[in-house]
Structure 1
Amino acid sequence: MSQLRTILICDDEEELAHELGEFFEGNGWKVDVCVTGMAAIEKLRKGLAPHVLITDLRISDFDGAQVVSVARELPPEMRPLMTIIITGHVMDTARAVDFMCDYLYVKPIDPDVLLANIGEFLAHRTFPAAGRS
């Protein structure tokens, strides 16, 4: 990987958010972690521009789909290249497209599988240098 990849992780389960953050840092990613949807939205609007956004679906102050929606409305150079929603609620018929995200995972998530899926998804994307933190 020639360029540092960045990720924003938002989950109100603070321990999970930080464990995922540590996992990605250990795999060479620059990580930002927040535990509220509003914090994630503020970071995005202030120009964080991560390559990947991971958010819990049910966050204490916001719906994760709202966080993804805000991210999708940002100028193209500021939008995450990939958006992921994770949830602890079993949803038999829900799909990622229902939440306008690229992937939908039910907790518990295997970080190795998550990393592999992200790597595969991003392998087909270009990484704009401008605006990425």
Structure 2
Amino acid sequence: MLICDDEEELAHELGEYFTSAGWEVEVCIAAAAAIDRLQRFPAPQVLITDLRIGPVDGREVVAAARALPKDGPPPMIVIITGHVMNSAVAADFDSDTLCVKPIDPEELSAAIESFLRLPPT
């Protein structure tokens, strides 16, 4: 799992939560670092990224994840944000799930587990 959020405390709290749940987690607080990590093998199974990461739009991180070689299943992509209109949906950001801050780690974990149990399309 790769978590990218420029709110360092939130990123590390989510990292600790998912590590304690058995995930192997990497945390980045800059979009460039997340994009660099995505381009190295192996790709993470799940990407959690903020929509606004400093001067970079989180969509750039999502685009890097979507551009990964198709030699395995694509990562699940979760957008987390505090800056989204009520009418927004995950598909607006080419993500699989959209979570509005404040994040409930248990709800996020349940959404990830549910998504990962779906049969491949």
TM-score, length of structure 1 as denominator length: 0.85
1:90 shift after superposition = 3.7
Deviations 1:61-99 (A, max 9, x none): 311111001110110136642001000114111111011
Q: Aligned residue for 2:64?
A: 70
Unaligned runs of 5+ in 1: 1-6, 127-133
For residues 1-133 of structure 1, the aligned pairs below 5 Å read 7-77=1-71, 80-125=74-119
| SS of equivalent residue, structure 2 residue 54 | coil
Unaligned runs of 5+ in 2: none
Number of matched residues? 120
**Seq. identity, %:** 57
Distance 1:98 1:104, change over 3 A: same
Q: CA RMSD in A?
A: 1.5
Write out the 4+ residue segments of structure 1 that deviate beyond 6 Å after TM superposition: none
| C-alpha separation in 2, matches of 1:12 and 1:79 | 27
Q: Aligned residue for 1:4?
A: none
1:124 shift after superposition = 1.9
1:48 shift after superposition = 4.0
Greater alpha carbon shift after TM alignment, 49-58 vs 116-125: 116-125
In 1, are the aligned partners of 2:2 and 2:44 still within 8 Å (CA)?
Answer: yes
